[in-house]
Structure 1
Amino acid sequence: METKAPPRIFSRERRKAGYRRALVRQSQRDAARYVLDDMVEDVLDRLEFMRFEPARVLVVGDWTGTLALSLRGRGSVVDEENVRTLDEEKPLGDGPYDLIVSLASLGRVNDLPGALLHLRSALNEGGMLIASLIGAGSLANLRRAMIAAEPDRPAARMHPLVDNAAASALMQRALFKRQVVDSRSLEVAYKSLDRLVSDLRDQALTSSLSSGAPPLGKAALQRARDAFLASANDKGRTVESFEILTLTGWKD
């Protein structure tokens, strides 16, 4: 029976271009990095709580270098991969690892079940995967603003996002044991839609859909700005929520 290829929702080239742009922005000014900082801190807290001390680790997607530095300080040998060079939908060349950490990366691959299988295959027996990604429910005000910008025929401008139930099913499908999927909210206040978009560009979190939408026209952009600020609090700021899913599983 012929196996169908997964639908091509995301573009690796657009994803890599966004990553390159983020690195330039990070080097030129005091750029936003709070999403990745939150993910890194969470991973370190989990490892400390579990008292898990991996000998060999693969870190994917941490362009800050903070996680690798911290793990090396704890005695781990760490390999680092970034989303410009690593294709999660293909087998990993190195390994096996005692721990693989993926940050803000797996939510934008076309074959997520296949990517999870490849990550599991790269683990030692008794090894663990921790994968953090932006989950469903994130950026609700931005989504409303995009619909308001083009009320008649809104273009696809934002990613489909994985929810808790789907992530749990995918971890089971990839044969992880003792798998756990949990979520938490990271709330950030913005004075304008433009500031939010700038922060997303800083952190390589903008769209990498395979079918890129055309730029918003002047009138549509103003509608989006007005709709975003319609939810502003008494300080004139709109609070957005990043729902961060963390997938944890073991290879037993």
Structure 2
Amino acid sequence: MLRRVESRRFWRLLGTPEISSGDGGRRQVTSGVPPSGGTVFRALNIFDRDLKRKQKNWAARLPEPMKFDYLKEEVGSRIADRIYDIARNFPLALDVGCGRGYIAQHLNKETVGRFFQTDIAENALKNSLGTDIPTVSVLADEEFLPFQENTFDLVVSSLSLHWVNDLPRALEQIHYVLKPDGVFVGAMFGGDTLYELRCSLQLAETEREGGFSPHISPFTAVNDLGHLLGRAGFNTLTVDTDEIQVNYPGMYELMEDLQGMGESNCSWNRKALLHRDTMLAAAAVYREMYGNEDGSVPATYQIYHMIGWKYHDSQARPAERGSATVSFGELGKLNNLMSQGKKSQ
């Protein structure tokens, strides 16, 4: 299936792990580490996590899972580029919600010494992509990381955190397992993801059934992401937004690919089935409102990229308020004097 991908970017500034063992020697989570400063668990239950695990396991068992990896591989490579931009090596790194290992395959052992990869889907871990970095696969939930405090030099996450029920807690867990001066580099789907599909389904369902149900999962707003990172304890934050547009032959091919990616909706309030007439109407609306001249239809994936550091005394800090020795007015006079000097030459 031929797909054409376009991308736009917007910037907005803003020792050895201990792993609990399960039955039969398979490593799995028994309890989560306490987030720094967190004493109350915020009980949110938006997504059916067991269903999401089944969806990801089903996708990983497909005869040709690489057929549907194009988006996750692209985002994984962009995260790797950001890691290469950081002028240091990372002896021990963690990938939270790794899937089939879409980040590790783009890194080398000169940059990352050892990689721990965690995911809720055991089949994704079993079918992980090859890499020259020594890796350890751990069956674990993003909200309950089974590692000690101050363990990893680098934590990464690609297109996984949008399915977490309690994102603030997950970010606190990531901050907890990072070493001081460690860095978190992640990416997750943003609020405008698949807006074409969402609008088409809502219009068709309203017209055919007199109302609509949510068929696209809710996403975090970019304005909230920087605040959540700061509240989790990260500093020197950077958040930027990518828009990746992929063209499909039609709406049904898009939905097939979403299922193959393991990205089907798992919200508790989802509607299990859509009437055939509603689906046909939605496909027609999609093509009419958003279709390209060649007959294909676009799908927009908005990607939030984030970078945050764990505090360390060696990090540069802003000067204290009121410590300046020159006012802005004097700086303006200095610029005028320099301009006059250049003219006199």
TM-score, scaled relative to structure 1: 0.92
Answer with 1 or 2: which has the greater Rg.
2
CA 1:164 to 1:71, structure 2 compared with 1: closer, same or farther past 3 Å?
same
Candidates 235, 242, 251, aligned match of 1:193 = 251
Q: Which residues of 2 match residues 56-67 of structure 1 at below 5 A?
A: 56-67=92-103
Q: Show the counterpart of 2:146.
A: 92
- Measure how far apart 1:61 and its partner are: 2.7
Q: Show the counterpart of 1:16.
A: 53
Q: Show the counterpart of 1:236.
A: 295
- Measure how far apart 1:96 and its partner are: 0.7
Answering whether residue 74 of structure 2 is matched by residue 38 of structure 1, we say yes
Separation in 1, partners of 2:236, 2:104:
25
| Structure 1, 80-89 or 68-77: larger mean CA deviation | 68-77
**Cα deviations across residues 37-76 of structure 1 (Å, max 9, x unaligned)?**
1211111111122223211001123333342244353252
> Where does structure 1 lack aligned partners over 5 or more consecutive residues?
none
Letter in 1 for 2:200: A
CA RMSD of the aligned region, Å? 1.9
Separation in 2, partners of 1:161, 1:62:
19
Candidates 206, 212, 217, aligned match of 2:264 = 206
CA 1:99 to 1:146, structure 2 compared with 1: closer, same or farther past 3 Å?
same
Candidates 105, 109, 113, aligned match of 2:160 = 105
TM-score, scaled relative to structure 2: 0.68
Separation in 2, partners of 1:99, 1:4:
25
| Structure 1, 75-84 or 124-133: larger mean CA deviation | 75-84
**Cα deviations across residues 62-111 of structure 1 (Å, max 9, x unaligned)?**
33334224435325211111133322222432561001111111111111
Instruction: Give the 3-state SS of the residue equivalent to 2:67 in structure 1.
Output: coil
Q: Which residues of 2 match residues 89-238 of structure 1 at below 5 A?
A: 89-94=143-148, 96-151=151-206, 152-230=210-288, 231-238=290-297
Separation in 2, partners of 1:165, 1:30:
33
Q: Show the counterpart of 1:76.
A: 113
Separation in 1, partners of 2:190, 2:244:
11
CA 1:29 to 1:177, structure 2 compared with 1: closer, same or farther past 3 Å?
closer
- Higher RCO (Cα < 8 Å, 6 or more apart): 1
Separation in 1, partners of 2:237, 2:118:
24
Identity %, equivalent residues: 23
Whether the 8 Å contact between 1:7 and 1:110 is mirrored in structure 2 is yes
Separation in 2, partners of 1:39, 1:78:
18
- Measure how far apart 1:169 and its partner are: 0.8
**Cα deviations across residues 4-43 of structure 1 (Å, max 9, x unaligned)?**
7433111111110110121022x43652212211211111
**Cα deviations across residues 213-247 of structure 1 (Å, max 9, x unaligned)?**
12111111111111111121110111111110012
Instruction: Give the 3-state SS of the residue equivalent to 1:76 in structure 2.
Output: strand
Whether the 8 Å contact between 1:133 and 1:245 is mirrored in structure 2 is yes
Matched length = 250
Structure 1 stretches of at least 4 aligned residues deviating more than 6 Å after TM superposition: none
Separation in 1, partners of 2:106, 2:66:
22
- Measure how far apart 1:150 and its partner are: 1.1
